[in-house]
Amino acid sequence: MSPAWRNRLIGLLLAAVVTAVDKWVKLQVLGPWQVRERGSIELLPYFNLTFTRNFGVSLGMFEATSMEMRWMLVAVTGLIALVVFVWLLRERRAWDIMPLALVLGGAIGNIHDRYRYGFVVDYADFHIGSFRPFLVFNVADAAITVGVVIILARALFIREKPEGEQQADRSAEIT
């Protein structure tokens, strides 16, 4: 197996792990932990489990107020996940694949929720006193955010040299 395919398979495994962890925590929130029934559970002075139904996408935007809109969001986010999956399969290096895997795994977790429940289950409530720097989120949201930040940082700060410059650098290293 080539190193590129090994990296892709590891990336797909990472996406599956993100999806599985997200699904497991959401099942605990909806079931044994009884967060839905309690409303909120304080775990730390700055972190609560707070059950929230998110009918929209990122930051609650594009809220699905009808069944048609719900299925439209499932279709659009599914299409985006498919694009990320194809992009992941086109990449070769682990540092290019892993952030895409985080985005893919998170997207699948949230798509599953929207398909099954009609909304995305959010529960992670980080706060400093009454100040909340984030909306209530979940593992999938965190994975997507981290993946996108890495992709953007790599695009902004890591510039690959054109092939001609790479050849010149290699020949200079040899001599």
What is the per-residue pLDDT across 10-37, written as a single tens digit (0 to 9) for each? 999 999 999 999 999 999 999 999 999 9
How confident is the model at residue 60, as a pLDDT? 66
pLDDT at 44 over 70: yes
Alpha helices in 118-161 (DSSP H): 139-157
Could you tell me if residue 168 is inside a domain? no
Residue 154 lies in a domain: yes
Grade residue 63 by pLDDT with cuts at 50, 70 and 90: confident
| Residue 141 appears among annotated catalytic residues | yes
Residue 96 forms part of a structural domain: yes
Query: Which percentage of the chain shows pLDDT scores above 90?
Result: 80
d(CA 71, CA 68) in angstroms, rounded, equals 5
**Averaged pLDDT for residues 128-147:** 94
Number of domains in the chain: 1
Q: Answer yes or no: is 33 within a domain.
A: yes
In a domain, 170, yes or no: no
Q: Is residue 171 part of a domain?
A: no
Tell me the whole-structure pTM to 2 decimals.
Answer: 0.88
165 within domain boundaries = no
Whole domain around residue 40: which residue ranges? 3-160
Residue 19, pLDDT score: 98
Whether residue 98 is contained in a domain is answered as: yes
Inter-residue long-range contacts of 110-113, CB under 8 Å, 24+ positions, other chains counted:
110/22, 110/77, 110/138, 110/140, 110/141, 110/144, 111/74, 111/77, 111/78, 111/81, 112/19, 112/23, 113/26, 113/140
Residue 126: CB atoms within 10 Å: 15
Of 22, 96, 125, 141, the catalytic one is 141
Write down the catalytic residue from 22, 96, 122, 125. 122
